Copies of this chain bind each other. A is one copy, B any other.
Amino acid sequence: MPQKTRDEYLSSLKKLGHRVFIRGEQITDVVEHPISRPPAVAMAETFRQAEPGQKEELFSVRSHLFNDSINRFAHIQHSTEDLINKITMLREMGRGTACCFQRCAGLDCMNSLYSVTYEIDEEFGSHRHERFVEFLEYIQSNDIVPAACMTDAKGDRSFSPSEQIDKDQYLHVVEEVAGGVIVRGAKLHITGGVNSHELIVLPTRALKEEDKEYAIAFAVPSNTKGITFIYGRQPSDTRRLEEGRSDVGNLYYGGSEALVVFDNVFVPEERIFMKGEYSYAGRLIELFAAHHRASYGGCKVGVGDVLIGATAALAELQGTANASHVKDKLAEMIHLNETLHAAALASALKGQRTPSGAYGIDPLLANVCKLNVTRFPFEITRLAQDIAGGLLVTMPSLDDRQHPEIGAYVRKYIGCKSEEEAEKRMQLLRLIENMTMGAGAVSYLTESIHGAGSPQAQKIMITRLADLESKKACAYHLCGIG
């Protein structure tokens, strides 16, 4: 079996030797650095769940390329059942980590490239698909994590890539060299980049002929010369540096994003999956966006489960669980959360085979799913904070419970029925703080808006995919017209 254990993954990450800066400091071990460890461990959870005795029936799956089981995070979906299982797996991961575990963008990207390279070859008689399948086989048989790198810096947004004054504002080919090309540019918001063995780069938008040099998709190892990761800051990120880490909220896990700079990076020919086929950039992005927008109806719902659970547990400890308004608010939180999930499942159910044999998700319902994701977590958050009470933001450090002078005050006045329950209460409050206004809020709130594309992008797709003509015909028919 080619699958890595959690620990093997973490070891491999330690040895990666990629160039990462956190708060100005170049770090050598992302697994051990207190700020980057929780994201690494969250990613590692995708390996642990596939281990025997864990949830391997969900997290492992037979490869369609060879006769062995692989991690589902490396699998090309070949049925609606596959699509559904992916969503279910993502929710499971969200429940287990309460954060962005960073491995689904790479998965969604591979599934999209699988289809699009095939379609490119069909039109151009090229060998993109063959190369991509080789790469995929390497990924699957070594249980490699690739990160998807899409969003460019974009410079002045009123200009297209080729119109930019600084051409590097969109990553592009700067030189053709023996055996490959040199590329330059940067990719923003790269989720889990620092925890990935490989980077898959793809264009960020539909392109026209004049933008041909920007129509480039490829993969390179994360430790390739010329690549630099600049770690993004998160609210309360440095609580992880505090001794005891009592106030981190989420004890184990976290997400991470980085600015990834490609400064004259060599890409070998065999790892180029698109080059110049600008007319397929839009198709690639739409496929990826649909997959990824549906993913959010898995992972964010799992995170929502944790927030709902934390809130319900807190209400019990605080003695308010039976108040009718609390019950009503919890019901609303569940309702909103399940509404998100429903659309993801439905988009999987309505998935369709692409020419390559891989399945694409239903794009209309995937966009509907994501548009709700840009909204409901904020309302779920508001309700969670409502039930949690003001102590959420006025509470001293958990360390203060042990303080020689003020510890007794804290234990007495931030109490519950017992000492132990009082401590649980404070820990749950810190978890809710983490998820709604701390490091966890990055993923649960802001990323829910912008990840996989901003709300306006969803609105545009929804209108385009809605088949308004047939709806108009229905209306006219009932008026006796046409």
Contact = CB atoms under 8 A, between A and B. Distances in A.
Contact of A415 (B155, B325, B466): B155
Kindly state the interface size class of chain A when it binds its partner.
35 or more
Taken together, the copies of this chain in the complex come to 4
A67 interface: no
Contacts of A95: 471, 474
Contacts of A174: none
A265 interface: no
A153 B413 contact: yes
Interface in A254-273: 257-259, 261, 263
B346 A454 contact: no
Contact of A324 (B151, B324, B379): B324
Interface stretch (A123-131, A139-147, A232-240): A232-240
A369 B456 CA distance: 25
A338 B365 contact: yes
A445 interface: yes
Interface string A405-419: 110011011110100
Contacts of A382: 374-375, 378, 445, 449
Contacts of A242: 238
Nearest to A443: B393
Interface stretch (A215-223, A285-293, A303-311): A303-311
B309 A475 contact: yes
Contact of A390 (B447, B462, B479): B447
A472 to B, nearest CB: 4
Closest 3 CB pairs of A and B: A309-B471, A390-B450, A324-B324
